[in-house]
Structures are given as C-alpha cells and as structure tokens.
Amino acid sequence: MQSDVNSVATEQGSEFRKLENGPPNYSEYVVPSFNTDFEWTDFPLAVPNSEVRVHLHHNGTNNEGGKLATVFSMEDIVKTVGFYKEKSVANLGNLMKAGGNISNILVSRRGLYALRVNDTQKALDFYDAMTDPSLKNSEGQTFQEFVLKSFEREVIKKTQLQCGSCTEEQEEALFELNFTNFFKTLDSGLSLFVSLSTDFNGDFIWVFLTN
C-alpha cells in the first residue's frame, strides 16, 4: 500500500480477517473505491473475525492545497474504538473473543502507525464522549469540538510555528512528536505505535510511542 502513496488521489483501505485454519492466516477485504474519497475511508461493519484495518493517507493535494497528515487523524482515533465496539457486538455472547485483539494501522509516506486498545473502559468512555452531541462543557462546546480545536492548535498550528523553513522530513518528525504529546493528553485508552523501518526479514519493527 505504501508504494501507492504518490500515485493515488483517494484513501485506500483493507480489512484483514483471521481464519480459523491457516495458511494463509488472514483473508483480505479490500474497501471498494466508492467507499473511499480524498480524506476518508468507510469500512464495513466489523464481522466476528475482523482483526486488522489498514488505510492509506496518500500524498495528493485537494482543490484548496490541503494535504493529508502523515499520522492518524482524530477521526481515525475515534474509529478505532468504533471498530472495537462493532467487533464486540459481532461477537456478542462470546466473551472469549469480544472486541479482542484489534489493530488500526495507518500507512503514510513517513511510515506506519498503529493504534490498539489498552484500556477497554477508558476507550469506550472516550468514544461515548466523542460521539455524544448533547455533552457540552461550560463553553457550550461538545467534547468532539473541544478535542478538534485542541488538535488543530497543539498539533497542526504548533508544528507550523515551530517549523518555519524546515525540510518536509523535519516537519513530519515534528508533527509526529506534537501528535504523540497531544495523544498522551487524550488518555483515550488506546496505545500508539510507529514503524519506520523493517528488519532483515522485511518485517516491520514496531516501536511503542505512548498510551
């Protein structure tokens, strides 16, 4: 998927579903192109053996010159918990599987990032707060507006300010740092990982960034 980062103008997505007997261990469901656009991917409802979702943030530019981030968006973070909830529903009555061992992986020109659930209750609370339009603070903001405002400022604007005339690679590294710091403050019940390189076998080397 990463080899497509410069050649496509819409996101791409795949879901990997664990098979009972291998090899292969997983089947791949490719999200059809009509369920993707410049800045979003619509995955279908999770099924009982849904395990890993992967989507691509490409290098394209929209009509107003906007580009996708090389890290997860806030929407991706919320959707990770949504994925967990959907799989829990799909496995209703099977407590051994439940939401289980899901991963949400982002592919961008910088590398790979992954989100996994580390605290179920925190994650579900975070999801409920982010999707409840009636939950408002003293400012009249929903939690989602509150978080999006903070994300825009603490990650996007802050990176622009700090960067000035830095290279694209330096800007991406700084964006990752500010995103990681911001992610930590969310206390969302999710863990963030990054993989910027592979080992001798071509397997990705994953590094834990923060909870």
Partner 1 sequence: MNIKILIIAFLISCGAYSQETIVPLENLLGYESEQNEVVYFKDVNNLLNKYTGNWIYDDGTHYLKITVTKKEHLPQDFFGKLLNPNYEDNLSIKMIYKLNGVEQYNTTSFGATTALINGNVIESTNKISLEYYEPTSSCRRQKHANLTLEFNPSNTLGGNGTLGWTRTSRISYVSPNTECPDGTLVDSSDFIIPANLVLSRE
Interface ranges with partner 1 (CB under 8 A): 37, 39-42, 62, 64, 66-69, 73-76, 129, 131-133, 136-150, 152-154, 157-158, 161-162, 182, 185-187
Least distance in angstroms from the C-beta of 144 to partner 1: 7
Strands 112-117 and 26-30: unpaired
When the beta carbons of 49 and 144 are compared against partner 1, the nearer one is 144
Q: Which residues of 175-209 are buried (b: 16+ CB within 10 A; e: fewer)?
A: bbebbbebbeebebbbbbbbbeeeeeeeebeeeeb
Least distance in angstroms from the C-beta of 81 to partner 1: 14
For the record, the structure tokens of 151 come out as: 């994300």
Least distance in angstroms from the C-beta of 11 to partner 1: 9
For the record, the structure tokens of 150 come out as: 């903070």
When the beta carbons of 132 and 169 are compared against partner 1, the nearer one is 132
- What sign has the CA pseudo-torsion 197, 43, 122, 180? positive
**In what helix (H) or strand (E) does residue 148 lie, and over which residues does it extend?**
helix 143-151
When the beta carbons of 73 and 191 are compared against partner 1, the nearer one is 73
Least distance in angstroms from the C-beta of 200 to partner 1: 36
When the beta carbons of 82 and 100 are compared against partner 1, the nearer one is 82
When the beta carbons of 27 and 118 are compared against partner 1, the nearer one is 118
Least distance in angstroms from the C-beta of 84 to partner 1: 17
Cα–Cα distance, 134 to 12 (Å, whole number): 33
